[in-house]
């Protein structure tokens, strides 16, 4: 057998039938659902009288439309959103599918909940009606987003007609500089290769930098690979990933563990495997990043200057830069650092985990949110929220003037009641800065949790490395 990449091994082990040179019928180990991409799929199932043959391989979460302000019990006031949630509950009950409902103690964002409860294992194929399903590559699982019609196909058959991707490898070596995180690394990569730079590819990350990352940092990296157009992202499972999984997979007992370890040990690209495209990055070159435009690839180091459209040789790029600057209200050649913000949002499936909240608390401890700034922290799940409270992180954030919210997607996207007003500028730990993403006319600057925390306490886009230490 010829040498294969990790991606090809995962596809090969899940191929039910080869359909043609470009397509296979792919088996799905786990299908995750949410309240906004599943209703039409269930409707199609019911119209045809189809059952869900493998309900134990499906899990649903209410997260996108749920309010995050503190109330018990949580009530979804918007009628359309409440209908989505109640329809999901009814559909899950009908088909015996597990649901993390509105007031479930473990409710949260699907891409936070699934791995933290041991649902994601190395070697799995995971599908979800959400593009950031690439997150699970951090554990050596092939995760990718699917459309509503595909959700119906997976519900009905536990398979998907899948178009094969090409292979890309991104090698990053060396220690990340102080103050620089996985979020900065992936933004740097997206800025370098562009928002379509990985289109049609599954990206495998490797190198000493990747090996040194925590699993939560790897989640961030794989989560945002889709912002470069990637159809998937993978990191070969090492001891760090395996320890993470075994600590959460209570069903893998001592008898099953040797078999699991033996199988997971094969999940890496062969030495002679050929990738269609390769990129190499030096971690030392990565500085804290902030987006200046309306696409994640419109990004630069915090100390850099805003680009001048006139300096762009490509006409399409020049037009895109002009449009982005009109929307964000920034001036060519100006410094990005020092730009005032009115809002700070910390959360999302990209940066709503406990490690992210620890980073924020470390920056804001002993400081206060700046006057005129509204700062929110929305944990990625109920479990993260409770852990942050147990560790004293929530108390630090509240004392600093942050709003301590309940879990959900919140201000990552304007599908709930956490919405920015037109013209408000937000330092955000989310994954997209499109026009209107956080509210009509609102301006989003993507950055790491530590950088967002620095913006909260200074009232402006700030290099977190420049903050003076606070002494007790």
Instruction: Please write the tens of the pLDDT for every residue from 43-98.
Output: 999 999 999 999 999 999 999 999 999 888 999 999 999 999 999 999 999 999 99
Domain that holds residue 296: 290-466
66 and 150 inside one domain: yes
The answer to whether residues 184 and 84 belong to one domain is no
- The total domain count for the chain is 3
pTM value surpassing 0.95: yes
Identify whether 251 is part of a domain: no
Residues 192 and 304 in one domain: no
Q: Given 149, 164, 179, which residue is the final one in a domain? A: 164
CB 169 within 8 A of CB 275: yes
Q: Is position 152 within any domain?
A: yes
Do 280 and 307 share a domain, yes or no? no
303 and 285 assigned to the same domain: no
The answer to whether 464 touches 363, Cβ cutoff 8 Å, is yes
Q: Distance between CA 295 and CA 307 in Å, rounded?
A: 14
The CATH number that applies at residue 47 is 3.30.499.10
Burial of 149 (0-12, 13-18, 19+ CB in 10 A): exposed
Q: Residue 93: inside a domain, yes or no?
A: yes
Q: Do 307 and 433 share a domain, yes or no?
A: yes
What are the pLDDT digits (tens) for 235-285?
A: 999 999 999 999 999 999 999 999 999 999 999 999 999 999 999 999 999
Residue 332 and residue 277 share a domain = no
Same structural domain, 445 and 303: yes
The CA-atom distances, in angstroms, between 232 and each of 53, 258, 467 are: 26, 28, 36
3-class state of residue 40 by DSSP: helix
In whole angstroms, what is the distance from residue 250 CA to residue 109 CA?
21
Say if 413 falls within a structural domain: yes
> Does one domain contain both 316 and 458?
yes
pLDDT tens profile 386-437: 999 999 999 999 999 999 999 999 999 988 889 999 999 999 999 999 999 9
160 and 170 housed in the same domain: no
315 and 213 in a single domain? The answer is no
State the CB neighbour count (10 A cutoff) for residue 244: 21
- The CATH number linked to 225 is 3.40.1060.10
Q: 397 and 310: one domain?
A: yes
14, part of any domain: yes
**Domain final residue pick, 164, 191, 219:** 164
Domain for residue 149, yes or no?
Answer: yes
**Mean pLDDT score of the chain:** 96
For residue 441, CA distances in Å to 84, 128, 322 come to: 26, 29, 16
Measured CA to CA, the distance from residue 408 to residue 463 in angstroms comes to 28
1 pLDDT above the threshold of 80: no
Q: What is the DSSP letter of 433?
A: -
Q: What are phi and psi of 42, to 5 degrees?
A: -65, -40
């Amino acid at each position: 057998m010829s040498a294969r990449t990790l991606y090809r091994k995962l596809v090969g082990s899940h191929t039910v039938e080869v359909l043609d040179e470009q397509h296979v019928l792919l088996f799905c180990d786990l299908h995750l659902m949410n309240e906004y991409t599943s209703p039409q799929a269930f409707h199609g199932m019911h119209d045809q009288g189809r059952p869900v043959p493998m309900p134990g391989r499906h899990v649903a979460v209410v997260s996108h439309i749920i309010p995050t302000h503190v109330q018990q019990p949580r009530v979804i006031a918007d009628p359309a959103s409440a209908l989505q949630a109640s329809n999901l509950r009814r559909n899950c009950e009908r088909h015996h599918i597990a649901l993390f409902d509105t007031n479930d103690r473990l409710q949260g964002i699907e891409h936070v909940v699934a791995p933290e409860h041991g649902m994601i294992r190395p070697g799995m194929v995971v599908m979800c009606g959400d593009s950031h399903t690439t997150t699970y590559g951090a554990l050596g699982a092939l995760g990718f987003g699917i459309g509503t019609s595909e959700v119906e196909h997976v519900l009905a058959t536990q398979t998907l007609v899948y178009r094969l991707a090409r292979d890309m490898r991104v090698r990053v070596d060396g220690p990340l500089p102080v103050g620089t995180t996985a979020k900065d690394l992936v933004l740097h990569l997206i800025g370098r290769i562009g928002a379509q730079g990985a289109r049609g590819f599954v990206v495998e990350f490797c190198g000493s930098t990747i090996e040194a990352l925590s699993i939560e940092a790897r989640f961030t990296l794989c989560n945002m690979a889709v912002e470069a157009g990637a159809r998937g992202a993978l990191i070969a499972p090492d001891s760090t990933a395996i320890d993470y999984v075994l600590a959460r997979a209570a069903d893998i007992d001592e008898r099953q563990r040797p078999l699991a370890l033996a199988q997971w040990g094969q999940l890496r690209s062969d030495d002679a495997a050929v990738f269609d495209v390769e990129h190499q990055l030096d971690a030392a070159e990565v500085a804290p990043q902030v987006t200046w435009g309306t696409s994640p690839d419109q990004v630069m180091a915090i100390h850099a200057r805003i680009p001048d459209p006139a300096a762009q040789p490509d006409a399409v790029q020049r037009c895109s830069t002009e449009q982005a600057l009109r929307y964000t209200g920034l001036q060519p050649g100006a410094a990005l650092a020092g730009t005032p913000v009115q809002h700070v949002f910390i959360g999302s499936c990209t940066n709503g985990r406990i490690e992210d909240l620890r980073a924020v608390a470390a920056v804001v401890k002993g400081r206060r949110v700046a006057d005129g700034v509204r700062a929110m922290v929305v944990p990625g799940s109920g479990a993260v929220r409770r852990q942050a409270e147990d560790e004293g992180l929530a108390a630090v954030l509240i004392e600093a003037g942050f709003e301590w919210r309940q879990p959900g997607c919140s201000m990552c996207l304007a599908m709930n009641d956490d919405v920015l007003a037109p013209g408000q500028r937000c330092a955000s730990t989310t994954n997209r800065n499109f026009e209107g993403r956080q509210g009509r006319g609102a301006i989003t600057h993507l950055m790491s949790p530590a950088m967002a925390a620095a913006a909260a306490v200074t009232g402006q886009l700030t290099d977190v490395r420049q903050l003076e230490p606070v002494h007790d």
